[in-house]
Structure 1
Amino acid sequence: MLDPMNNWTNMSYNEIYRGLRYLKIKKRQTRPNLQSTISELVTEDGCKVYLVGTVHFSRESVRDVQQIIQQVQPDAVVIELCQDRKLLLTLDEQTLLNEAKECDLYKMQKAMNQFGVMPALWLMVFLKLSAYVTEQLGIAPGGEFRKAFREAQKIPFCNIYFGDRPIFITLNRCAATLSFWKLVKMFLGVLCLNSQSVPVGKEIMEQIKQKGMLEQTIKTATEEFPEFHRIFISERDVYLTHSLKQAARPIVLPQISQSDPQQVIPSVVVGVVGIGHVAGIKKNWNRQLNIQELMRVPNPSLPTRILRFVFGVTLYGLKIFFYYKIAQTLIWLFD
């Protein structure tokens, strides 16, 4: 045991490590107060995962995340972000509010250069949705992830994992699977949001956390866009489950002396995911998972290739027209 009165300079690393971990476990609540949106999952090794289902624009979800992390003092926190979106954790709320509201041609072109035409269109759809809800509620998305990141940093020996599939792969799989006309239908529907009086009140956002309303919303989305649901929800359910299981592994404590027996303790993990993924993670929890197929980027569909060609020709034509008008103006000025 680590005695705070001891001189740490006379202690080995293993002694300090085991002592701090002991104090952490002593502070951990074995029977935490679980909100209705938090589920407890257990691995075959006895490791526990506290799965928090959140609404991305909900302050209540931020409080749920903070409370469960403080109560269970986890060894790892897994968040529903990928490495490409980790910048979301470091930006302040006001910057995120401004970013969500500003979706201009420059950002569109930058996204197309990075991801491709069709994935960039999908990305613009989500940015538009995010900007709309942000404007309605005045809350930047991802607050629960930022809170999880900050709380995890306060806990000794707590690792932070990005548990989501890379967004580049998700967008490309979506672009290669969905038909062009379904993309246009959804894209136009999102573009019309600002012209419709569709309030997104805080009460509605909190109601989404209720199981009945959530299941009905998912059912409607599945019937309308089954391919979208498979790629953005079902496949990521499997990937997130895999990430949670990878994080929830027994911890091997270091030996203070060679004569000490090797001790292994079950780990405690907190997973922070959108509430729409909770049911799928539970369903996949006890299954053998293979994520290799989920990481494959299929060849783009024919409509995608046609759209990419048309867009490229159009963009090239617009550039030529732009340079022509500049040249025409210069000739007029100096003639």
Structure 2
Amino acid sequence: MPQPPSAPPSAPAAQPQCERTIGAARVTLLGTAHVSRVSVAQVSRLIEGGDYDAVAVELCRSRFAALTDPQALAGMDLFSVIRQGRVYMVVANLALAAYQQRLADQFDIEPGAEQRIAVRLAQERGLPVLLIDREIGVTFRRIAARLGWWRRTTLFAGLLTALLSGEKVTADEVERLKEGDVLETAFAEFAQDREDLFVPLIAERDRYMAAKLRLEAQRVGARRVLAVVGAGHLAGIARDLDAAPGDPQACLRDLEQVPPPRRGPSVLPWLVLVLVLGGLAWGFVQSPQLGWDLVLSWVLITGGLCALGTLIAGAHPLTIAAGFLAAPLTTLHPAIGAGMVTGAVELWLRAPSVGDFSRLRTDAATLGGWWRNRVARVFVVFLLSSLGAALGTYVGGVHIAKRLLA
């Protein structure tokens, strides 16, 4: 079988670009490919030419921090991440970083290298660096808000499976990376229908970056701005800059809000609570013996499956016990998940070292690394114990219904 090339197919000799006027500023929109050395070279050439007094990049604050401070993860408060329900977001970000590492290892060029060189050269010359992309967490949440709960679950599972796969990146993925960015390619890899992803992933970000460009160019008083964006965003940003400007602040506020899920606030957890408690109560009405049998079944099923998920995650024995004890109660409480308990207990029992934090991005690039690294394993414990408890809720509910209807 032929080996993949050591680098992606070369990009065109010149990357697409266009000029736009924003108030007193003249903006050059440069469309780049995120796995192209030609893009890196052209960014370098334009900045080193000395024609610009500000450089805008397709980065948000969190991605900029990760780019400029590799040790930023060392300051992460894991208890706060668990308590605030941000585990899924952090895991998705780490999986995305793992995908980037795969690309770097395969093609010997780091995705987003043109953004990195743009930031470095701008800082060396004392030029303002304008961060114009929307926070990646907001984009993830706005995507989730457009999907039903099952699609959200399958999307997240598919994202992890695709990004953590050890397989070589295909030629099709490389072609998509030339047009869009790593985030878009990661979703496109497994999403069967991108219609419900296009708006928050591409169209909204085009509008956001256009509004942010207007605002930031005015804030720093720039006369000539180089905006380094993915080639797939070039036409959309240019189109939004050509449109009536409106109030950029209002536009940004609107695009940063997280709407409720597509079908409104979920009533499923409360429905489960009512049905299970109602079923247990009806069992006691029929017979105290039946009622206690149903309670015992609920404890064994939900606690057992949660403990099984925690065991597969390689958790401490006391964490497994905590999952078994917590799941029968947390599955009946919409605001508290079993993963919050097991994740916190595992973190308390096996506190990560500084080395675990420093190796987190590297370890997250391999499936085994998620079990080996204590920081990543806390997230695995959270996810698998939550999955076990959710499965236990379904199995336990069906068991109670069958016993009552028998």
TM-score by length of 1: 0.61
Is 1:316 matched up with 2:345? no
| Paired residue secondary structure (2:207) | helix
Q: State the match for 2:104 in structure 1.
A: 134
For residue 236 of structure 1, report the CA deviation from its aligned partner. 1.0
Displacement, 1:231? 1.0
Distance in structure 2 (CA, Å) of the matches to 1:219 and 1:318: 31
1:122–1:154: structure 2 CA closer, same or farther, 3 Å change rule? closer
Q: Secondary structure at the match of 2:66?
A: helix
1:166 alignment partner in structure 2: 135
- AA at the equivalent of 2:134: R
Q: Does 1:279 align with 2:269?
A: no
Instruction: Work out which of the residue numbers 189, 195, 210 in structure 2 matches 1:226.
Output: 195
Report what 1:184 is aligned to.
Answer: 153
Task: Tell me, yes or no, if the aligned pair for 1:38 and 1:50 is still in contact at 8 Å.
Answer: no
User: Is the contact between residue 79 and residue 344 of structure 2 (CA under 8 Å) also seen in structure 1?
Assistant: no
Cα contact 1:55–1:61 (8 A) shared by 2: yes
Aligned to 1:245: 214
- 1:44 CA displacement: 5.6
More helix by share: 2
- Give the C-alpha shift of residue 83 in structure 1: 1.9
Q: CA 1:296 to 1:217, structure 2 compared with 1: closer, same or farther past 3 Å?
A: closer
**C-alpha distance in 1 between matches for 2:100 and 2:215:** 30
Alpha-carbon spacing, 1:323–1:192, altered in 2? closer, same or farther (3 Å): closer
Gaps of 5+ in 1: 1-33, 100-105, 253-265, 325-335
Q: Percent identity?
A: 26
SS of 2:19's equivalent? strand
Q: 1:51 to 1:217 in 2, by over 3 A?
A: farther
Does structure 2 conserve the Cα–Cα contact (< 8 Å) formed by 1:56 and 1:274? Answer: yes
For the 8 Å contact 2:29–2:228, the answer to whether it is kept is: yes
Secondary structure at the residue paired with 1:149? helix
Greater RCO, 1 or 2 (C-alpha within 8 Å, sep 6+): 1
User: 3-state SS of the aligned residue for 1:283?
Assistant: helix
Q: Is the 8 A contact 1:66 1:151 kept in 2?
A: yes
**Aligned partner of residue 118 in structure 2, secondary structure:** helix
Which of 37, 43, 50 in structure 2 is aligned with 1:65? 43
Q: In the alignment, is the contact (CA less than 8 A) between 1:50 and 1:270 conserved in 2?
A: yes
Tell me, which stretches of 5 or more residues in structure 2 are unaligned?
Answer: 1-11, 270-330, 350-406
Compared CA separation, residues 167 and 322, structure 1 to 2 (3 A): closer
Are 2:258 and 1:297 aligned? Answer: yes
Give deviations 1:216-235, integer Å, cap 9, x for gaps.
99999997132322112111
Paired with 1:323 and 1:271, the residues of 2 have a C-alpha distance of 45
Normalised to the residue count of structure 2, the TM-score between the two structures is 0.52
Deviates more, 1:192-201 or 1:173-182: 192-201
Q: Residue 39 of structure 1 corresponds to which residue in structure 2?
A: 17
- The residue number in structure 2 matching 1:83 is 61
Q: Distance in 2 between matches of 1:195 and 1:217?
A: 12
Aligned to 1:267: 223
Give the superposed CA RMSD: 4.4
Shift of 1:73: 2.5
